[in-house]
Amino acid sequence: MSHVFPRHSRTPPRTALRGEGAYLYDAEGRAYLDGSGGAAVSCLGHSDADVIKAVQDQAARMAYAHTSFFTSEPAEELADLLIANAPEGIERVYYVSGGSEAVEAALKLARQYMLETGQPERSRFIARRQSYHGNTLAALATGGNAWRKEPFAPLMIDTSHIAPCYAYREQQDGESAENYGRRAADELEAELQRVGPETVIGFVAEPVVGATLGAVPPAPGYFKRIREICDRHGVLLILDEVMCGMGRTGTLFACEREGVRPDIVTIAKGLGAGYQPIGATLCSGAIYDAIRDGSGFFQHGHTYIGHPVACAAALAVLRKLTEGGLTRRSAELGEALDAKLRAAFGQHPHIGDIRGRGMFRGLEIVEDRETKEPFDPARGVNKAVKKAAMEAGLLCYPMGGTIDGKRGDHVLLAPPFILDDAQLDELVEKLGTAFRAVL
Ligand code: PLP
């Protein structure tokens, strides 16, 4: 009997034994093409020799030094390379061990910035429905999944939510993409007026929505307008790139495509690429300076922040994504994947939408293509697709979610950036096998 406390107590998982390239192998010897990089984590596949060597070398040289005493060479080098490639204005890197921690740190950093700058009345956040920002309490509060939050409602921080930018379901007939983007962004202005802009610390959003909607990019101009609204009211723009960052959408930071300058941006998943647990909260020089010149101390900090082995792994990953050209490859391969998905499923009676950027693609599953009517949630289509895909030897990331009472299922694809053409075909073919079994 296992003593591990699994995610799902009634369906204990198979044992994964080894990883090689784009494949994972279980203890029974079955191979799985990793079509979702776990949960958009394994951007380099599972046996990258350079990252493994970086981990081994750093662990042998020095495994750990507590950050209240020391910084370390890999932490410094990684921060330099991140900032050299970060959006304009982003100047500092605060390390953590994963995505929820990165968001949690971002929310606390934003609140502390308001205190340091004499704005203690700013005490709440605005985020979007149908978003996921992590499972720690404040991150959970900013997320938009009602069912995830419900049991912990008494423990939530004060956050309200506007609609996500979700053209497939929200753009109206005859409305241009630009006008829709503007209309969706203006919900932030309306919400600020409702709650009082002087009470708001920041607006939190994923540039390309991952788990909850399935690789949904924003409408053109949406984030530019959001930035204008934030600036008008002194509200911080916090972009959560835990899932969509680190080359996943074809640019190192997903927000590069939007041409906006966030005040805080969170990254994780692809940063360690699964070789080490690491995340980071990056912030503007203005935020850092306010704390340096104020209390001089960010009231946060965990034992494992800036872990040298994790930083060494992330540094090796980041070099591959930047100098090694893998972010460019994510953009190119993503176009090829999109074309193959459209050829295979573009006319599928139950695939309503195919979307995404780079190696971050989503397919929305509907009962009726014309009306966009979702399947009855009781059918559990997303779970059935996941199971059927695994039987076919494919890992993909199907989810169902509620949006204003409506439920849609989707499949999220986030494969490693190292697939070859035959593996792209294999992914699409196996997904087709899963769809045939379920839809
Ligand atoms: N933010 C986003 C956008 C995510 O997709 C996730 C995880 O899926 C998180 C935060 C939380 O990250 P973690 O699971 O590493 O805590």
In the predicted model, is pLDDT for residue 156 greater than 80?
yes
Q: What percent of the chain is predicted at pLDDT more than 90?
A: 93
State yes or no: pLDDT of 403 exceeds 60.
no
- Looking at residue 405, what is its pLDDT? 58
CA–chain centroid gap for 67, Å, is 27
Instruction: Tell me: pLDDT of 411 over 90.
Output: yes
Residue whose CA is at the smallest distance from ligand 1 atom 7? 134
Q: What is the DSSP letter of 87?
A: P
Tell me which of 97, 133, 281 to substitute to probe ligand 1's pocket, judged by most ligand atoms within 8 Å of the beta carbon: 133
Atom 5 (ligand 1) nearest CA: 243
Distance in angstroms (rounded) separating the CA atoms of residues 396 and 116: 44
Whole-number pLDDT of residue 229: 98
- Atom number, ligand 1, closest to the C-alpha of residue 241: 3
Question: Which of 41, 128, 241, 269 for mutating ligand 1's site (highest number of atoms within 8 Å of CB)?
Answer: 269
Residues with CB under 6 A from ligand 1: 39, 98-100, 103, 132-134, 206, 210-211, 240, 242-243, 268
**165-221 pLDDT, tens digit each:** 999 999 999 999 999 999 999 999 999 999 999 999 999 999 999 999 999 999 999
pLDDT of residue 142: 97
pLDDT, residue 399, reads: 86
Per-residue model confidence (pLDDT) at position 163: 94
Ligand 1 centroid vs 172 CA: distance in angstroms? 30
pTM for the model: 0.98
**Which of 170, 249, 268, 179 lies closest to 207, judged by CA?**
249
Probe residue for ligand 1, chosen from 36, 100, 142 as the CB with the greatest number of ligand atoms within 8 Å: 100
Tell me what pLDDT residue 340 has.
98
Q: Enter the ipTM.
A: 0.99
Residue 402 is predicted with a pLDDT of 57
Name the H helices within 279-369: 285-293, 308-321, 326-345
Q: Whose CA is nearest to atom 1 of ligand 1?
A: 133
Percent of the chain at pLDDT > 70 equals 98
SS3 122: coil
CA of 290 to the centre of ligand 1 (A): 28
Domains of the chain with bracketed CATH: 16-47+325-438 (3.90.1150.10), 52-321 (3.40.640.10)
In this structure, of 74-83, 269-278, 342-351, 394-403, the range with the lowest mean pLDDT score is 394-403
In angstroms, the CA 305 to CA 165 distance is 33
Q: What is the pLDDT of residue 404?
A: 56
Q: What share of the chain is helix, strand, coil (3-state, %, to 5)?
A: 40, 20, 40
Q: Mean pLDDT over all residues of the chain?
A: 96
Exposure string (b/e) for 373-395, b if CB count within 10 Å is 16 or more?
ebbeeeebbbebbbbbbbebebb
Query: What is the structure's pLDDT at 407?
Result: 64
pLDDT exceeds cutoff 70 at 290: yes
Tell me the sheet residues that pair with 354. Answer: 363
What gap in Å lies between CA 154 and CA 24, rounded to an integer?
Answer: 40
Q: Which atom of ligand 1 is nearest to the CA of 98?
A: 15
Which ligand 1 atom is nearest residue 139's CA? 10
